[in-house]
Structure 1
Amino acid sequence: MKRTQLGIAISVVLLGLSAPSYAQENDATQQDNATGIEVIQVTSQKRAQSINEVPIAISAMNETDIERLGAQDVRDMQFSVPNMIVTGYIESSPSFGIRGISDRSRNPGYDNRVGVYIDGVWVGRSSAANQSALDVERVEVLRGPQGTLFGKNTVAGAINIITKRPYADELSGRLGVDIGNYGLQSYKGSINVPFTEDFSGRLSVTKTDRDGFVENSDPLGGIPADKFVDEFNNKDELATRAQFYWHAGENTNVSLSFDYVENKANVLLGEKIDDPLALDANVVSLDSTQKLDSTIKGSGLTIDHTFANEFQLTSVTGLRSSEWNLSDVDEDYSPLPYAFTEFQKEDATHFSQELRLASPAYESFDYIVGAYYLTQTIEGDSDVQAFAPALNPAAPPVYVGASRVAEVDADSYALFAHGNYRFTDQWSITAGLRYTYEEKAIDYTIVDTSGLFTNLSANESRDASDVSPTVSLNWIPVEDLLLFARYSRGFKSGGYNADLINDAEALPFEDESVDSYEIGFKSPFLDNTLNLNANVFISQHDDYQVQSFTQLPSGGTAITITNAAEVESKGFELELQWQPIDSLQLWANYGYTDAEFKAFPEPAGPGTDFSGNQLAEAPKYTYGIGAEYRYSLNYGDFVVQADYFKRDKFYSNPDNAVGNLNQERGESAARIGFEAESGAWNVFLWGKNLADDVSQIHNSTSFLGIGRAQYSQPRTYGVKGQYKF
């Protein structure tokens, strides 16, 4: 570690020693030791409610939880949520999954199943889903289809991110630094400014740099200097968030936000399995830079007005965009220039508008009605090249390839209603209905000189509509114990496989629907020192949209999207929080999922059948356990915390071939440090993957049919400090 880096870290700590107090920031989940475990307030039903009152399988993390996890983004939070998985290090196409239902929006004609929202605005593409944890108040993860209240294609679940709102009390802020191995340097700061009694603003910035953990070697000594980089999977990220809050009148509030994230890195889609030139995990020998540039930005405007009769009208307007360019990608996975992706890029923009009218919370009922509109344009291009003799030894020594250009335009319209009716103090029903109509149009061209794919131009359009109901019967047999039985339907419109395809019939795919059933309970016990939530579920998908790597007759590989006849996902989830004494907190979660194709005939042509196979990226189990102990000293608390997370092995392709099986993964993490009694500063030593267990976490296939794999990040450690004023 460089002396200058250590000096910055020490300076932050010393600044904190001289600070007697700091401004208290708004937080809907303040800890109250007198009442035991804090109860997080959530807005998953568009109203502020205790998480224990919501008849939905939902996990929530507040700012304290996010700090405890050392989470930089949504990916870092996955092990705190049962049956949630995020795979892939590539920011352009991470895969999100809940309850065994996983996917990524890799091409312009496909939408992801897990919806991610920032302050009520849908973020769109997979490339924008792994949102930064910068200045986030809480994250709510709703498992299962959420067709009634959330905007688009939430057939697997929704991730609802709520950012910290500016407040008008006083000028305040925070500074933080995190220094670690692999050259990690992360600096963050935020400031809250009360311009007037009714108007305030907040600006937050974080900058993170880290060296790569995958070593690149050149054992043959022939890689040109302009094609060689020392390491892959480095990090160069800048994230900013600006927010404004205006109390426009006694009954009107206005929130305006802007966010921007920029990533630059040399990334790795995978390393060749059993590579004789690089036998160790996280070691490769590639003659390409594999450069990724990505930008995510957006804005949101929320206006709340409460009428004299206590009805509340809410308008949520969003404008978001994401773009990325991945260039010079090695496809033969060797130090020889046989095959490469020259570039693959995407540019997506969408505008959304939601209007909601919420009734007052009457004694026996309440409801919300609303309308939603979304318009979206996605453009995607790619170009791959291969040395012809590598495909056919008899071919002349020239490069051949394939390129595609696609633009997909989509419009979505919806009307929805959602309400609660309380028969008695013990019995109630929650019900909702959503009508959705969507239109999509594609302009697509593929040009192929390799013989692996096809030549095609297409201009097509499609539309679809759906009615998605939700109903839950809720029972409170004794105080604070909630039991519920819930049915919900989700819908995902069809689209286009706007990738490199080998047949015109491979371009369109059809709509998907899901019917989900679950029962569960939520309850605090022992004077709110023990919280236990549990539920069992079964989801049945019709015409499930399957992404897979398929072997082509020409010898290459294409990513296909087809409709499986039927998919079933079933399992259960447990979440536990326990505070046996004031100084000790314990937590645990466990999720089990059995997700399989009940019927999937001829997925790769006549004579093939994937019926009974496990879904891709669907581990059977996930679990996490952790503990935090605080020892009070004269000026604050000495804190020790440890976590252990594990998930089962899983296949990365629906064919369930042995070569597509990924190892189970276990990881331990810990931190030890001191928090000042005033709350003004803290400093921690931290470590992740303490056992340095490097295992295969995802695999795929290049377009030449070469198997490749990603491996887990090795042991990381460092010191971080924070100062508040």
Structure 2
Amino acid sequence: MSSMRKINQNINSANRKKILPNMLALAVGGSTLLSASAGFTAQTFSLEEVVVTAQKREERALEVPISMAALGAEALEQSGIKEVKDLGEMAPNVQISQDSDFSSRVTIRGVGANSRNIGFDTRVGVYLDGVYLGQSPAVNQGLVDLARVEVLRGPQGTLFGKNTVAGAVNLISKKPSDEQELEVGINVGNYNNREYQMRGNLPLSDTTAMSLSLNKTERDGYIENLFNGDEVNERDATSGRVHLRSDVSDKMSINIAADYMTQDRNGFNGEPLTTIFAGGYPTAGNDKYEMYQNRTVPEDKEIWGTSATIDYDLDSGFSFKSITAYRYTDMIYGTDVDFTEFDLVNTAYQDTYKQLTQEFQLTSPADSALSYVLGVYYYTQDSDTERYALAGSDIGAFPFGIAPNSTAVAYGGTVETESYSIYANGNYDITDRLSLGFGFRYSEETKDVDWSIDGSNSGAFNIATGSVDDSRTDRDFSPTVSLNYAMGEDSFIYARASTGVKSGGYNLDFVNADQFTGSPDDIEFDTESVISYELGYKAELLDRRLRINTAVFYSEFEDYQVNQYIDLGGGGTALTITNAAEVVSKGIELEATYVPTDNLQITAAVGLLDAKFKSFPGGGDGGADATDNDLPYAPDLTAALGVQYYLPVPSLASTLLLRADYSYTSERFITPSNNEGFSNGVVDIDYDQLESYDLINARIGLIDDADRWEVYLWGRNLADSDHMNYSFRDFLGTYVAGYAMPRTYGVEAKYRF
């Protein structure tokens, strides 16, 4: 074994003893957190080792040359994180959209996107046990039965392939254990919040075990539709996961898992700040948590998937892994396009994704100077869409030229995607302290599109009529190289250069007739690529009571894809996707976790960001030059501070948990135009520029020392911030916004049999 690896594996065994049974004091508010097995020792108050699989093999997070945040199971629980969208509070330079699941968007270092239509992909991949979950509707998973979450910042094209130009989110599930377990929980709170949880683990034999998790969440909406009395932006979701693990032999194990989620709720895609064409203010429902619309729209989805993972240790010391998976996502979504009490125009969407993946990995022995992973990956996805813009009974009162109670626009079609890739990622110990990291991925992807749109009844909106039957193939080679230097047993500096690519595609949306004349070239856009440079420092100091992670990065994007509404004049808008922009994202991330005593942990994190369009002529409203403008959803500053304290209560044979989280996000823009509001002499509104905001969350709990029960009082957004989360301008020129969920609080309890 090389000296470098001896240094990395020389961990003080005392650091593995826990001060409290089955208890973790994990970081909050955005630091690079502890693994699921993390804790403190009474003797040294030290942080335990963090083990991650960011490079598809188990490694100390300290020596992985990637800026990342890793959250263990109890960190997720103690911070009250229930869904993927909640993770945005936990890491610097990470933003996750808080609006509809239909348009879920993860933004890392100012770079992100939602897959609004089946021809456009995201920029951050979300993975469950190595399986890509798919497009925006599938992103906001309930975090059920997870052992750890890893948020990887920067391009991850070598190991994760396409659509990870900004980063990746890894969800790692708990594996069934050899212990018989049953845990039940209930969580109740304001807005009639009810959450019921159950997790069981059952050994079936000496070599086989099964786990089952179920979760049911219901919550009333916090926005009232004054027109019909409906409460919108509610939650009604059921999710579950079953996992079977079998150690077939000393060398072979099989994990078979299946998960399911269904959601049926009154959706919400914003409330109007103006009437159509910005001709005035709404006549009613002007409060941030009120609306006045003639219809309530659905947001229903069904997601399920299954996977089989085979691990086999060869006699030579190599290990082989096979991951076979199938995923299905179906989303039904609607909008009230006019956002008024009149029955003018509404839309109805149904998008379906069917995905099959197969991955083979070969991992070298870990006891040599050269270690590596070789992989082959196959991906196929069938995407189907069916969407309608429906004219209502009142539309005849407006000069749109559309017959009442008719279909104004109809479109639908399929995109079939097939991708093959090979990759390698490795590490070579040049000296006892200096290590060279390397990797590449070669991929070939073909998209076949068969799509048509009929806007012949769209009148003044001038929506296109035509069809596309086309195919495009993209080939890409994405390399990565890094240097990692061990300054000591627990202190590393690294330099990394990485690349990635985002798929090209087609703008399959409600396109304007002037944009689409029938040629595929009118709505096709090219691939986007990135090269990123990163310099980082990771260390555990003061007898491993202080953990520091910092990174400085610079990323250049070529042919950056921009999906935006453009002004058509006369108050109308249209959706476009262009490759017109060059983008630069640069900044600093600093994260620290400090354990001054065995019961106290303090964490802090700061992210500084400068993400701009290096070149985007004509990208602003009215064709204005958007060069040097900020990227959408790219705050200059994100910061967090967290404190967690355990206080033993011997008289109750339990321990009191006190926890508080604070996070700050600075101003940011929503569109490339970087508007500082909108005013036309009739209306004067906040739009585009989102104000800075603070969030305060807290939790007080009593935990049984025998690990049988625990009960918590919790609160989120305790300062009741009502900051604007998003704003946009819709098809009829209406300015729309959505605001933060108000203060929530409740009681949560769990019992283990």
Counterpart residue type for residue 342 of structure 2: L
2:220 is matched with 211
1:673 is matched with 701
2:420 is matched with 413
Residue 438 (structure 1) shift = 0.5
Distance 1:352 1:150 in 2: 13
1:76-133 deviations in Å (ceiling 9; x for gaps): 1211111110113312221111000011011011111100000000011111111211
Does the alignment pair 1:374 with 2:374? no
5 Å matches for 1:102-501? 102-168=112-178, 170-218=179-227, 228-273=228-273, 274-327=281-334, 329-341=335-347, 343-386=348-391, 388-389=395-396, 392=399, 401-448=408-455, 449-451=457-459, 452=461, 453-501=463-511
1:170-209 deviations in Å (ceiling 9; x for gaps): 3112111101000001000011010001111000000000
Residue 701 (structure 1) shift = 2.1
Residue 22 (structure 1) shift = 9.5
Distance 2:224 2:565 in 1: 27
Distance 2:435 2:200 in 1: 44
Does the alignment pair 1:646 with 2:674? no
2:56 is matched with 46
1:42-86 deviations in Å (ceiling 9; x for gaps): 001111111111111011000111011111111112111111101
Distance 2:111 2:372 in 1: 30
Gaps of 5+ in 1: 1-20, 219-227
Residue 604 (structure 1) shift = 6.4
Distance 1:151 1:119 in 2: 15
1:515-553 deviations in Å (ceiling 9; x for gaps): 000100100111111101000101100000111111225
Distance 2:633 2:397 in 1: 31
Distance 1:256 1:229 in 2: 45
1:13 is matched with none
Residue 633 (structure 1) shift = 1.1
Counterpart residue type for residue 263 of structure 1: Q
Distance 2:292 2:180 in 1: 52
Does the alignment pair 1:62 with 2:72? yes
1:470-524 deviations in Å (ceiling 9; x for gaps): 0001111223111000000101120011111012254211011000001001001
Distance 2:109 2:376 in 1: 29
1:147-177 deviations in Å (ceiling 9; x for gaps): 1111432101000010000012x31121111
1:529 is matched with 545
Residue 23 (structure 1) shift = 13
Residue 435 (structure 1) shift = 0.3
1:367-399 deviations in Å (ceiling 9; x for gaps): 111110000010112111345556527877675
Distance 1:28 1:47 in 2: 16
Does the CA contact (< 8 Å) of 1:299 and 1:319 recur in 2?
yes
Moved more, 451-460 or 174-183: 451-460
Distance 2:361 2:458 in 1: 53
Does the CA contact (< 8 Å) of 1:388 and 1:450 recur in 2?
no
Counterpart residue type for residue 437 of structure 1: E
TM-score by length of 1: 0.93
Moved more, 315-324 or 558-567: 558-567
Measured at CA, do residues 249 and 396 of structure 1 come closer, stay the same or move farther in structure 2, by a change above 3 Å? Answer: closer
Counterpart residue type for residue 559 of structure 2: D
Alignment counterpart, residue 691 of structure 1, candidates 714, 719, 739: 719
Measured at CA, do residues 30 and 459 of structure 1 come closer, stay the same or move farther in structure 2, by a change above 3 Å? Answer: same
Counterpart residue type for residue 370 of structure 1: G
Counterpart residue type for residue 614 of structure 2: K
Does the alignment pair 1:574 with 2:590? yes
DSSP 3-state at the match of 2:706: coil
Distance 1:83 1:262 in 2: 30
Does the CA contact (< 8 Å) of 1:22 and 1:724 recur in 2?
no
Distance 2:240 2:352 in 1: 20
Distance 2:452 2:199 in 1: 46
Counterpart residue type for residue 616 of structure 1: P
Residue 559 (structure 1) shift = 2.1
Moved more, 551-560 or 311-320: 551-560
Distance 1:307 1:200 in 2: 24
Measured at CA, do residues 99 and 551 of structure 1 come closer, stay the same or move farther in structure 2, by a change above 3 Å? Answer: same
Distance 1:722 1:398 in 2: 52
1:79 is matched with 89
Distance 2:23 2:666 in 1: 44
Residue 603 (structure 1) shift = 3.1
Does the alignment pair 1:621 with 2:637? yes
Distance 1:450 1:110 in 2: 24
DSSP 3-state at the match of 2:101: coil
Distance 1:397 1:365 in 2: 70
Does the CA contact (< 8 Å) of 1:506 and 1:560 recur in 2?
no
Does the CA contact (< 8 Å) of 2:640 and 2:664 recur in 1?
yes
2:30 is matched with none
Moved more, 157-166 or 274-283: 274-283
Does the CA contact (< 8 Å) of 2:223 and 2:232 recur in 1?
yes
Alignment counterpart, residue 31 of structure 1, candidates 28, 39, 58: 39
1:594 is matched with 610
Distance 2:479 2:402 in 1: 58
Distance 2:739 2:422 in 1: 44
Residue 564 (structure 1) shift = 2.6
DSSP 3-state at the match of 2:75: helix
Does the CA contact (< 8 Å) of 1:680 and 1:723 recur in 2?
yes
Residue 657 (structure 1) shift = 2.1
Distance 1:200 1:671 in 2: 34
DSSP 3-state at the match of 1:296: strand
Q: CA RMSD in A?
A: 1.9
Gaps of 5+ in 2: 1-20, 25-34, 274-280, 677-686
Residue 250 (structure 1) shift = 1.4
Distance 1:22 1:100 in 2: 37
Distance 1:558 1:308 in 2: 61
Moved more, 466-475 or 641-650: 641-650
Residue 660 (structure 1) shift = 1.4
DSSP 3-state at the match of 1:92: helix
Measured at CA, do residues 625 and 22 of structure 1 come closer, stay the same or move farther in structure 2, by a change above 3 Å? Answer: closer
Give aligned-pair identity as a percent: 37
Residue 275 (structure 1) shift = 3.0
DSSP 3-state at the match of 2:158: coil
Measured at CA, do residues 710 and 23 of structure 1 come closer, stay the same or move farther in structure 2, by a change above 3 Å? Answer: closer
Does the CA contact (< 8 Å) of 2:63 and 2:484 recur in 1?
no
